[in-house]
Amino acid sequence: MKGTEFKGQLSDVDLRMLRIFRAVVESGGFSAAEVELNISRAAISIAMADLEVRLGFKLCQRGRSGFSMTDEGRNVYEFTLQLLSSLEEFKTRVNSLHAHLKGELNIGITDNLVTMPRMHITRALSRLKEVGPEVRINIRMSPPNEIELAVLDGRLHVGIVPLHRALAGLDYLPLYDEESCLYCSNDHPLFKTTEVETTSLMAWDAVVPAYAQSADIKRHYQPLNGVATATDREGIAFLILTGAYIGFLPKHFAARWVDEGRMRAIAPETQHFITPFAVITRKGIRPNLVLDTYLEALRKIQTSA
C-alpha cells in the first residue's frame, strides 16, 4: 500500500482516525462500531482506509470471513492505547492546575448496581457534581474483567467490580457486600413449596452465570442443574421469569419482582452467598484532582455509613 509516509507528526485528523480504529477493534468490526462511534459504516471505512494509507500498511482484514487484525494492526492497536492514555493523562494533569475542578471522570460499573440500597456510588457522584459542576462524568457499564483491563490501560479512571481476585497492578477500596439468594418465579413449581431440600435442587433446570465467580461462590452452584447461562444478572432474571429456571440473583435486584409476587427466594437460610464489591484504580497513577475528589467522597460516605 502506498501513501504519505508517517514521520511521527500527529495531527488532529490522525488522532480521530486512531480513535476510530480503537473503537473498531474493541467492537469487533465496522458494523458493530457504528453504534459506539455514532457515524456511518461508510465513514468508518473511509477513515480506516485513510489511516492505512497514512501509516503505509494494512491494519485489518475485512470481508465475508469477518474482521481480523494484521500483525501490524495488533501493534498499532497497542500503541494507540498507550498514546490515548497518555493524552488523557496530560489533559487531566493540566485540568488539575485549575483552582476549580475541571476535566473528566471515566468510570466503569458492573451491571445492576443501581438498585443497591446503599447508594455509595450515586452519592459520591452527586458530591463530585456539587463541587465540580463542570466535570464531565462518563459511565461505562461493562463486565468486571473488561473494567479491570480498561483501568489498567488508562481508558477508565476508576471501576466498581466484584472482588473475586486481586490484580497486582490495581489498588482496591472495599465498597460494600452484596447478598444473593436462589430464586424461582411464580410460574415455577417450587414457588408454592415451603420446604426445599438442597439435594433435590438438581431436579430443576437452572441458569448459571457465564462470568467469573470466586471459588467460594462457585460451590453454591454445584447442587444446581445448570442447563442455561447468562452473561449478566439481567439475563439471569429473564430466564427465571420464564418459570422454567431457578437461579441466583442479588436481593436488591430481585426485590422488585419479590414485592410484586412474581419471584420468591428458595431456602434463603441456606441458599445464599455474599459478594464483596470494591473500587479499583491503577497503581502508581499520577495525581488527578477529579479522581481524588471522587475517591475522597466515597471514603467519607463509607465512614459515615
DSSP calls for 6-34: P-S---HHHHHHHHHHHHHHHHTSHHHHH
Q: Is 35 in the same domain as 85?
A: yes
Q: Is 166 in the same domain as 188?
A: no
> Which of 89, 110, 134 marks a domain boundary?
89
For residue 3, being part of any structural domain is answered with no
2: pLDDT confidence band, cut at 50, 70 and 90?
A: very low
For residue 5, being part of any structural domain is answered with no
Q: Is 144 in the same domain as 105?
A: yes
For residue 2, being part of any structural domain is answered with no
* Short-list 260, 253, 191, 198, CA closest to 225: 198
Number of compact structural domains in the chain: 3
202 DSSP assignment:
G
- The backbone torsions φ and ψ at residue 181, rounded to the nearest 5 degrees and listed phi first, read -130, 165
Range of the domain at 40: 12-89
Tell me what the mean pLDDT of segment 49-62 comes to.
Answer: 88
Global pTM value:
0.65
CATH of the domain at 134: 3.40.190.10
pLDDT tens digits along 71-124: 999 999 999 998 888 888 777 666 665 556 788 999 999 888 888 887 899 999
- The backbone torsions φ and ψ at residue 53, rounded to the nearest 5 degrees and listed phi first, read -65, -45
